Amino acid sequence: MIRWRRGTVTGLRRRWRGAVELDVAVEPRRPGDPAGVRALAYPVLVGEPEVGDRVLLNLNALALGLGTGGYALVVALPDRLPADADRPGHVVKARYTPLQAVVLAADEDDSPHRAVLASADSVDGMPVVIADLHSALPAVIAGVHADRPDARIGYVMTDGGALPAWFSRTLDALADRLAGVVTAGQAFGGDLEASNVHTGLLAARHVLRADVAVVAQGPGNLGTGTPWGFSGVAVGEAVNAVAALSGRPVGSLRISAADPRARHYGVSHHSLTAYGRVALAPADLVVPAGVDPALGVDTALEPLRHRHRVVTVPLDGLDDALRALPVKLSTMGRDLDADHTYFLAAAAAGRHAASLLRAAGPST
CA distance linking residue 272 with residue 17, whole number of Å: 35
Say how many residues make up the chain.
Answer: 364
Pairing mode, if any, of strands 72-76 and 19-26? unpaired
CA distance linking residue 189 with residue 101, whole number of Å: 10
Section 195-220 average pLDDT: 97
Judged against a pLDDT cut of 80, whether residue 347 lies above it is answered with yes
The answer to whether 185 touches 339, Cβ cutoff 8 Å, is no
Residue-wise pLDDT for 48-103, tens only, equals: 999 999 999 999 988 887 765 679 999 999 999 998 888 899 999 999 999 999 99
Confidence of residue 364 (pLDDT cuts 50, 70, 90): very low
The answer to whether 79 touches 58, Cβ cutoff 8 Å, is no
The answer to whether 247 touches 123, Cβ cutoff 8 Å, is yes
CA distance linking residue 44 with residue 207, whole number of Å: 24
Judged against a pLDDT cut of 60, whether residue 360 lies above it is answered with no
b/e per residue 207-217 (b: at least 16 CB within 10 A): bbebbbbbbbb
pTM for this structure?
A: 0.95
Across the chain, what does the average pLDDT equal? 94
Q: What is the structure's pLDDT at 304?
A: 97
Cα dihedral 233, 237, 238, 240 sign: positive
What is the percent of the chain with per-residue pLDDT over 90, rounded to a whole number? 87
Cβ-based neighbours of 268, under 8 Å, separated by 6 or more: 132, 253, 254, 255, 256, 259
Judged against a pLDDT cut of 60, whether residue 107 lies above it is answered with yes
CA distance linking residue 114 with residue 190, whole number of Å: 17
Residue-wise pLDDT for 139-195, tens only, equals: 999 999 999 999 999 999 999 999 999 999 999 999 999 999 999 999 999 999 999
Q: What is the structure's pLDDT at 362?
A: 47
CA distance linking residue 260 with residue 265, whole number of Å: 7
Confidence of residue 1 (pLDDT cuts 50, 70, 90): confident
CA distance linking residue 248 with residue 198, whole number of Å: 14
Pairing mode, if any, of strands 212-217 and 266-267? unpaired
SS3 content of the chain, % helix, strand, coil (to 5): 30, 25, 45
The answer to whether 271 touches 236, Cβ cutoff 8 Å, is no
Judged against a pLDDT cut of 60, whether residue 361 lies above it is answered with no
